[in-house]
Chains A and B, each alone.
Chain A
Amino acid sequence: MMLSVAVKKRRGSFSLDALFELPTPGVVALFGRSGCGKSTLVNVIAGLLDADAGRVALDDMVLLDSERRLCVPPERRRIGYVFQDARLFPHLSVASNLKFGEARAPAQHYVTLDTVAGLLDLGSLMNRRTHQLSGGERQRVAIGRALLSQPNLLLLDEPLASIDAARRGELLPYLETLRDQLNIPMVYVSHDFDEVLRLATYIVLMESGKTIAQGGVAEMSLNKELRLIIGADAVGAIVDGTVLGTDPSSGLTRVKVGHGELKVHTAKPALGTKLRVQLLARDLIVATQPPRNLSVRNILAGVITAVTSDDADSDLIAIDIGATLIMARVTKAATRELGLAAGLPAWALVKAVSLRSHSFAAPPAISISPPGA
């Protein structure tokens, strides 16, 4: 199962040149600075914008193929689109908005109104008019409306951008629920790396209209191009660990990462669930001998795989901790004095407070897939 996109489009001085192919289902995050062409690309995928040339296909369903002069119009692409500004119909109630796409979907429905109302807590909003909704509620209705159109692919164009910062945190768990409980492939556009960190399974990096890198989140978290966009201080390996249980003495959650183990603060995740952890490169300390007599609780043993120059003063040290790479930023002076080099054993120290973790892929209570997925 693949989503493959290869499109070119010129608009005045701006030119879009996008190329990526990623497995589905999963959340593909289109990530890049504002104005880099993410929304243009999403509009081309939806069919709302014509591409000059290219191909868009979801598995064997070809939506656009300029060589074969094939272009399925948006109303027949079966792609759900959640717009930045929700775009609810003001002349219809919430319930009628939700049913708009459902009524026009092909006979075989795999998402029902009850399911959507449950997943997105829409029950109490049904009889309201759209102008009586808050920003977050509007987006939840917009997501529900798109899902009820029984899409094969869901596009979300910065759905949190028009919501005030305080409310964003309320909407994110709903998006996580959708990712974990529906097997619908999603393309999530964002310029906020925290959202990507929480939601994405794959990342496509965009810069000035071009896709510059793509891959799984763990792999992309170490990508050099990402650093150019989010800045050196936000760079760090993202690792999906497995919950081993709770440490009785400290109450912290034990997470298996590579061959090692981390203890993190998190709200009681169930045994065996996935927990996504980001280890910021600037927060890692590297030792060349097993450290002793330290207050740091989290120590990961591994082997250095590469030393690369980060900027004039620092190096990035990549450490393999057991089929998992993490990255530490140290000064060039430290690299020299410790003799850090590929192939040497190393220990990475990380303070529990510097971990950022999010639960990821809870075992689905219900699992809903598009037919043929």
Chain B
Amino acid sequence: MTWLNPGESEALSLSLSVAARSVILSLPLALLLAWLLTRRRFPGRTLLDAFVHLPLVLPPVMVGYLLLLLFGSRGPIGSWLERAFGVELIFTRNGAALATAIMSFPLMVRAMRISLENVDRGLEEAARTLGAGAIDRFATVTLPLMLPGVLAGAITAFSASLGEFGAVITFVSNIPGETRTLPLALYSALQTPDGDTAAARLACISFVLGLSGLLLSEWFARRVRRMLGR
């Protein structure tokens, strides 16, 4: 990437790495929650639903602050993670991934829920009469049929992760090479005297990245729809 300077390519690859970690971290959990909220009736379901959607309505800075309280080195979960596994989240890219995962989680769950609601239960019944148990049915019928939603959810969450600012800067700060993702680099450039050109270039990179994500998502969705014959 000769047309990007070292700082820009560092921010770009860090952003991609954080977004990828974030998606990998949240994908299985989002799938489980989408399934629970769509298919199960249990006490506290509405509350859980609201809880999943909270990041959409809370100020990102507040989410970052909560993460600091819980996952900071003196927070209950953070100190346990460090003692038990030697995992440090605060001021690290894994911490940035956690923050973006939480912020983009509702988007992912939502996309999966919509596609799961559209899965014909009759097909699952058919699989059942053909001898497929619960896990078998989910893996061979339900999951393939909701694949468009899973992909759309993953791509939307990935794109949203690339742009997350408030929660990241509050929780893991703005450390070049470790937590300075594209939006944080853009913010830093704006804070620097004569940083206008750098800011404009970073803005262009973000723009191209976001647009490619959306186009890729659309292309995927179309391919999967054709595969399913719709």
Contacts and interface: CB of A to CB of B under 8 A. Distances in A.
Interface of A: 46, 48, 73-81, 83, 85, 87, 89-91, 100-101, 104-105, 129-132, 145-146, 149
Given A85-B122, A90-B230, 17 more contacts: A75-B130, A75-B132, A83-B122, A87-B120, A87-B125, A89-B123, A89-B126, A91-B227, A100-B132, A104-B132, A104-B136, A105-B131, A129-B229, A130-B229, A131-B229, A131-B230, A146-B129
Nearest to B143: A91
Interface string B199-230: 00000000000000000000000000001111
Q: For the side of the interface on B, what is the size category?
A: 20 to 34
Nearest to B130: A101
A87 B122 contact: yes
Contacts of B125: 48, 74, 83, 87
A74 B144 contact: no
B133 interface: yes
Contacts of B131: 75-76, 78, 101, 104-105, 149
Q: Is the interface of B mostly helix, strand, loop or mixed?
A: helix
B45 interface: no
Interface in B134-167: 136, 140-141, 144-145, 147
B225 to A, nearest CB: 11
A100 B147 CA distance: 19
A104 B140 CA distance: 12
11 contacts: A48-B125, A74-B128, A80-B129, A80-B130, A87-B120, A90-B145, A100-B130, A101-B130, A104-B131, A104-B136, A131-B230
A79 B132 contact: no
A100 B129 CA distance: 11
A44 to B, nearest CB: 13
Interface string B98-124: 000000000000000000000010110
A149 B130 CA distance: 6
Interface string B24-61: 00000000000000000000000000000000000000
Interface in B143-199: 144-145, 147
Given A83-B122, A85-B122, A100-B127, A90 B132 contact: no
A291 B196 CA distance: 114
A146 B229 contact: no
A160 to B, nearest CB: 18
A76 B227 CA distance: 31
Contacts of A48: 125, 128-129
Nearest to A48: B125
A83 B145 CA distance: 19
Nearest to B229: A131
Contacts of B144: 91
A79 B130 contact: no
B133 A75 contact: yes
Contacts of A131: 229-230
A100 B137 CA distance: 11
B120 to A, nearest CB: 8
A74 B129 contact: yes
B130 A146 contact: yes
Most chain A CB neighbours (cut-off 10 Å) among B126, B130, B228: B130
Contacts of A104: 130-132, 136
A91 B228 contact: yes
A96 to B, nearest CB: 10
Interface in B52-111: none
A96 B178 CA distance: 48
B126 A90 contact: no
Contacts of A105: 131
A90 B129 contact: no
B126 to A, nearest CB: 4
A351 B220 CA distance: 66
A100 B131 CA distance: 9
Contacts of B132: 75, 100, 104
Contacts of A78: 131
A130 B229 CA distance: 8
Contacts of B122: 83, 85, 87
Contacts of B128: 48, 73-75
A149 B131 CA distance: 8
B145 A91 contact: yes
Nearest to A150: B131
B75 to A, nearest CB: 44
